[in-house]
Amino acid sequence: MAEGIKDKVVILGMGCTKFGERWNSSSEDLSIDAFTECIEDAGIEKKDIQAVWVATHFDEINVGKGGNFLGTALKLPLVPVTRTENFCASGTEAFRGACYGVASGAYDIVLALGVEKLKDVGYGGLPGTPAFGQMQAIMGPNATAPGMFAQLATAYSAAYNMPMEKIKEAMAHISWKSHQNGTRNPRAHLRKAIPLEQILSAPMIAYPLGLFDCCGVSDGSACAIVTTPEIAKKIKPNDEQVKVKAIQVSVSSGEEVLYTDWDGAGMLTTRHAATEAYKEAGIKNPRKEISMMEVHDCFSITELATMEDLYISEPGKAPNDVLDGFFDLDGQIPCQPDGGLKCFGHPIAASGLRMLFEMYNQLLGRWPEDRAVKNPKYGLTHNLGGVPNQNVCSVAIVGL
């Protein structure tokens, strides 16, 4: 019976670039910057790295296929470089590969790196390349990410018979909170506080999502070096260890997009991945035990629904928790302490590792007081890739 990887893998070091419209930096530049910070933090040399998992999503406009670009950019010494692509969970998938490499005993020290260069497209929003193959490109609507996620809101409103005004109010609070957190974070893409009234009156992107309900479209890279607790102890004998407690991934079964039972108001995959992750980490009551979260707030409505899917809020009650400040930086479970996708930015395949970067540094107490989460024990990260009816979800839990 598989027992999972709880406490078998330690994050030895991490790096993360400033996210944003990095017009003058290539994917390679961003990777080198994140890696340089990471390897210094880890206290090892490049020759110590035995294997690499690298994540990129939009290979068409990015670095192409495979892992060759990273081998060449970092001049890695002929080690395996495996590219992972699984929508917005790509970065966490690279991390999962690296952790499994260590936990299996195949390797001692492994690098996981995510990088995405989105701002070479020529227009706002994500690149409009077909994500689900040619048939869906031909038959499906010419849909965008905001349009597909916006439908969570119409479905949520119908499922809980809740007026759209109340949902909009909660969504606005979510974005307001992330902007507040973003102002405190020098690496974040968007660092301006936005008043609630401005959020509520912003131009509509995809009904009912306004401009401030949508996350930043950014360039950036983040990475982690992982090893065993024993090796970490040798390299950093006096440091506290950030251990991996759980990593779970769930992919849609087709039920959501084909079968009429799903109500569209939340993600089946998140519920499944969360259940499995809590089991792997030994967490019984997530609302009480999770100290902080970085979730996939590609849109404010995604964050709202995710609070229920992660079993933090009761079904239909996330708007109340949000409006009560439960997820604010000074709330019971700070959510998006670094600004989230909303303000830190969302270079697709870097996001999962960026979230872990925040949890890692919070757990080690490295952040200034104005944005430090108090006495964190467990940090949860969550990615949701694809679209609500066809998605991949990853949930990772790290802790001391």
Partner 1 sequence: MIGIRSYGGYIPHYRMNRLVIFGSMGWINPANILNAQGEKAVANFDEDSVTMAAAAAADCVTDFNRDLIGGVYFASTTASYKERLCANLVAGALATREDVRTADFGNGLKAGTTALISALDAVSAGTAENVVVSAADCRLGTMGSPQELMFGDGAAAFMVGDTDVIAEFKGSYSTGHDFVDHFRGSGAKFDRQWEERWIRDVGFGEFIPEVVNGLCDKYGVTTGDFAKVIYPCYYGGARKAINKKLTLEPDQVIDNLQAVVGDTGTAQPLLMLVKALEESKPGDKILLVSYGSGCDALFFEVTDNIHKFPSRRGFMGNLNRRAELDNYVKYLTWRRMVPVEMGLRGEEQKWTRWSLMWRHHKEMLSLEGSKCKACGTVQFPPQRVCVKPECGAIDQSEPVVLSDKGGKIGTFTSDMLAASINPPAVYGTVNFNGGGRYVFDFTDCTVDDLTVGNPIDFSFRIKYYDQANDITDYFWKAVPVTEGAE
Q: Does 253 bind partner 1 (CB under 8 A)?
A: yes
- Closest distance of CB 144 from partner 1, Å: 4
Residue 371 neighbours by CB under 8 Å, 6+ apart: 181, 184, 185, 329, 337, 338
Helix, strand counts (H, E) of the chain: 15, 11
Choose between 255 and 324: whose C-beta lies nearer to partner 1: 255
Q: Does 155 bind partner 1 (CB under 8 A)?
A: yes
Binding mask 105-144 for partner 1 (x = CB under 8 A): ----------------xxxxx-xxx----xx-xxxxxxxx
Q: Hey, what's the torsion of the CAs at 194, 200, 204, 205, to 10 degrees?
A: 50
On whether the CB atoms of residues 319 and 300 are closer than 8 A, the answer is no
Choose between 64 and 125: whose C-beta lies nearer to partner 1: 125
DSSP 24-82: T--HHHHHHHHHHHHHHHHT--GGG--EEEEE-S-TTTTT-SSSHHHHHHHT--S--EE
Query: 189 an active-site residue?
Result: no
Q: Does 146 bind partner 1 (CB under 8 A)?
A: yes
Q: Per the structure block, which two tokens stand in for 110?
A: 């492994």
Q: Does 162 bind partner 1 (CB under 8 A)?
A: no
Query: 272 an active-site residue?
Result: no
Distance set, CA 220 to CA 90, 98, 112, 342, 384 (Å)? 14, 20, 14, 14, 18
- Closest distance of CB 341 from partner 1, Å: 17
Q: Is 50 exposed, middle or buried (0-12, 13-18, 19+ CB in 10 A)?
A: middle
- Closest distance of CB 256 from partner 1, Å: 9
Choose between 132 and 239: whose C-beta lies nearer to partner 1: 132
Q: Is 156 exposed, middle or buried (0-12, 13-18, 19+ CB in 10 A)?
A: buried
Q: Does 175 bind partner 1 (CB under 8 A)?
A: no
Q: How many residues bind partner 1 (CB under 8 A)?
A: 44
Stretch that binds partner 1, among 178-186, 187-195, 250-258, 351-359 (CB under 8 A): 250-258
Stretch that binds partner 1, among 148-156, 230-238, 329-337, 356-364 (CB under 8 A): 148-156
| Active-site amino acid positions | 88, 346
Q: Note the residues at the interface with partner 1 (CB under 8 A).
A: 121-125, 127-129, 134-135, 137-144, 146-148, 150-152, 154-155, 157-158, 203-209, 253-255, 257-260, 264, 389
